[in-house]
Amino acid sequence: MPTLATQVDGLSLPNPFIIGSGPPGTNLNVITKAFKEGWGAVIAKTVSLDSSKVVNVTPRYAKLLAGSGEVIGWENIELISDRPFKIWEEEFKKCKDQFPAGVLIASVMEEYRQDAWIEIIQRCEAAGVDGFELNFSCPHGLPERKMGAAMGQDPEILQEVCGWVKSAATKPFWAKMTPNITHIEDPSRAALRGGATGLSALNTIRSVMGVNLDTLRPEPTVEGYTTPGGYSGKAVKPIALRMVMEIATLIRTEFPGRSLSGLGGIESGHDAAEFILLGSDTVQVCTGVMKHGYECVKPMCDELLAFMARHKFETLADFKGKSLDYFTTHADLVKRQGDRKAAQKAATTGKTLKSDAEWKGDEFVKQSDALSRS
């Protein structure tokens, strides 16, 4: 019988499905629901020390629908948690009292000040969390305060901040990367050099959902205006897989042993299998939970287990990163295709020559050559 249970950075998860930071982990009530439904771990909504600076607007979501009506893309201009940090500290404690074995990860974001990062890490640890995700990747609102993606896009700052966290944290911490950058390897390498236990990829992709052709206003429209937001859901999965592949290759070659949590558009066990095949240790789901509810973890687990049984994989480690071996350069693809076609042609030519009557003057050399191969 295959098992989904896994150990990552010293944390024991019953399965690799983690609630990604966002609305599905926005308070104790919903976090409790996630543990009850059997999620492998929960990453809470991102917290900061001073929530009074966080002011949300409505509407803050806009959706892209397929012809069938299914939501395939989701833009948000939501900020990090607007709830006071003191309340979060109490809720982290209560959550660990209720679910001592549940893996609770605090997502944290702070300004570019060492004392603030150290304080938030120490207070979350005192409240009992099992690990951290550092949000270096929120693409809207917070970058105006030089937070979130503004830090994640600057490898030097990223390395420095990870170093601060490393000096204060006794628990594992993952740096959550922004996709809004040309080469994801650069900030990834910086975070790992700074001491991050692992990486999470990816956060939302900076986007504009569309323009209303009646009002001529871009959406989501707030008081007639908008600001670019973050794109998530099914539509971002191919981009997420590419970045996960690049980060996993980096980890494999330069930082063996560091972990990777993959996310972006995961809604099924098969999606999860793809992220694991490209090097993820765990997978996170945010928009999928907003679409399908917390219960979706059960069919996801079943589908992943069925995939493992089909391939006779006993553990997640049996197939983690297995498909990374099939990436190469375009030039190598051309060579492989040329070699295969040449071999096929030779084989075909050889096979068709069944009697001496088939020898042809204009193919004579090729036919002779083919007959000399085994």
Residues designated as active site: 138
Contact pick of 11, 13, 17, 45 for ligand FMN (by CB under 6 A)? 45
Least separation in angstroms between CB 309 and ligand FMN:
25
Could you give phi then psi for residue 84, rounded to 5 degrees? -55, 140
Least separation in angstroms between CB 333 and ligand FMN:
29
Check binding of 175 to ligand FMN (CB under 6 A): no
Cβ-contact 174, 259 below 8 angstroms: yes
Check binding of 78 to ligand FMN (CB under 6 A): yes
User: What DSSP string describes 8-43?
Assistant: ETTEEESSSEEEPSSGGGSSHHHHHHHHHHT-SEEE
Check binding of 46 to ligand FMN (CB under 6 A): yes
In 287-367, at which residue ranges do the beta strands (DSSP E only) sit? none
The stretch among 51-59, 151-159, 259-267, 353-361 that binds ligand FMN (CB under 6 A) is: 259-267
Strands 282-285 and 259-263: parallel
Contact pick of 17, 35, 39, 74 for ligand FMN (by CB under 6 A)? 74
Least separation in angstroms between CB 122 and ligand FMN:
20
Cα Rg of the chain, angstroms: 25
Distance from the first to the final alpha carbon of the chain: 43
Strands 259-263 and 229-232: unpaired
The sign of the CA dihedral 179, 183, 189, 190 is negative
Site string for ligand FMN, 195-234 (x = CB under 6 A): --------xx---------------------------xx-
H/E run at residue 253: helix 237-254
Place of tokens 């892209």: 64
Contact pick of 6, 15, 51, 135 for ligand FMN (by CB under 6 A)? 135
Least separation in angstroms between CB 81 and ligand FMN:
7
The one-letter amino acid code at 138 reads: C
Residues that bind ligand FMN (CB under 6 A): 20-23, 45-46, 74, 76, 78, 80, 107, 135, 138, 176, 203-204, 232-233, 236, 263-266, 285-288
